[in-house]
Structure 1
């Protein structure tokens, strides 16, 4: 210990003290650098660890912004413009009206409705039964109710001589009321199939098939008669 505090040697004591001072300074610098380096490494590790953590506010924002199922506000089903009751093979249209809330809707004025008769073909070959469609259209700007049951509509076919050969009224199975609400510019279509047989009042059985040729068909709805429609039957 005395040699440390009291240097012994051939040289001046100041030289020994300066050397020891330099050595101490160097050691201090090394220690400081070591401490700084350790802290730097520790800070880097902490930053890396922080970078791997999720930001709770970011997660919450992402979950909140995630889109849900797409919906269309006010999206409600609309009436089919050509919805029609089912029909029997004998040509008598049948069907039950859906709930329409007709109590709050006024009946249609005659001037607000148009009636048209169409067919699915103009010529029918062997075994092909003519199919006719009676369409009632509301041409007004407001919804209204209309009775379109078989009791107020019918179809008649006449041959080239003008003689009646078939009428839906002869074999009408039911004349039940069928009141429908028709929206503006919409329509209600009723389909009737003709079995190509003669008909007579009371619908007697064993009616014969009509002969080949041209036939004129007209439809009547609530005393409105449609334009005539001509079809041809062949065998």
Structure 2
């Protein structure tokens, strides 16, 4: 099988076979060289260069557990948090008690005081917030006021939040004419000392008949006229911020 067959001398056939084998070896060497070159660093560099030339830079996505105090993340429009930044609250998340100017926190301009040896809450350490069950009432309806008392200090303390210490006063919208006060005609006695931890809140309600009154209930009570009014609550000498509400005429039949 290996001996050349044909009309030509055997040397010619051997030379042809040697040439074919040589060409095959060269082709295999070229293929192996190309494979090695593509998988080597040289091929990787060319790939990177082609990416740069395309004009589309690549960015590393920030880690899901990256340090928020790190610098820029490398993503366009996204920067890392600064070291001095505070926490941002999630949508819908309420501010914590103790923040200035926040209902339930320390009122703006007041600083919590140390709790005295008696353990009683100083006025500076409590927040008093008043609100109604509705923003507007029809003439003849009876509003319900809610008083919320919060320990806005840094230590637990005791406060008397009983009915005798509660009061709600309704005034005209300008605040210069007294309409009604909860203690005018139905003063209530009683003590309700509550030990309040920082941020703890207690609530109570006071109903209003929707009529006028004077101290000692010495005048005939009249239904209040339709209009806008303001109200202020107190726990002892500690007032709330004023709130407003409306009294409307009944809808025409």
Q: What is the TM-score of this pair, normalised by structure 1? A: 0.51
Structure 2 counterpart of 1:182, from 196, 199, 202 = 196
1:116 aligns with 2:136: no
CA RMSD, aligned part only?
2.3
Matching residue of 1:129: 142
1:144 aligns with 2:164: no
Structure 2 counterpart of 1:107, from 120, 135, 144 = 120
- After TM superposition, the structure 1 = structure 2 runs for residues 1-235 of structure 1, keeping only pairs within 5 Å, are 106-160=119-173, 162-204=176-218, 206-235=220-249
- Once residues 117 and 173 of structure 1 are traced to their aligned partners in structure 2, the CA distance between those partners, rounded to angstroms, is 19
Contact 2:173 2:244 in 1 (8 A): no
Matching residue of 1:22: none
Q: What is the TM-score of this pair, normalised by structure 2? A: 0.47
String of CA shifts for 1:103-122, please: whole Å, max 9, x gaps: xx822233321111111111
Computing the radius of gyration over CA atoms, which structure comes out larger, 1 or 2? 1
Deviation at 1:218, TM superposition (A): 0.8
- Once residues 112 and 159 of structure 1 are traced to their aligned partners in structure 2, the CA distance between those partners, rounded to angstroms, is 30
Count of aligned residue pairs for this structure pair: 132
Deviation at 1:204, TM superposition (A): 4.4
Cα gap change, 1:141 to 1:160, in 2 (>3 Å)? closer
More helix by share: 1
- Once residues 234 and 187 of structure 2 are traced to their aligned partners in structure 1, the CA distance between those partners, rounded to angstroms, is 18
Deviation at 1:211, TM superposition (A): 0.6
String of CA shifts for 1:34-57, please: whole Å, max 9, x gaps: xxxxxxxxxxxxxxxxxxxxxxxx
Displaced runs of 4+ in structure 1, greater than 3 A?
none
- Once residues 141 and 224 of structure 1 are traced to their aligned partners in structure 2, the CA distance between those partners, rounded to angstroms, is 18
- Once residues 200 and 220 of structure 2 are traced to their aligned partners in structure 1, the CA distance between those partners, rounded to angstroms, is 40
Q: Unaligned 5+ residue runs, structure 1?
A: 1-104
- Structure 1 window deviating more from structure 2 (143-152 vs 206-215): it is 143-152
Cα gap change, 1:216 to 1:106, in 2 (>3 Å)? same
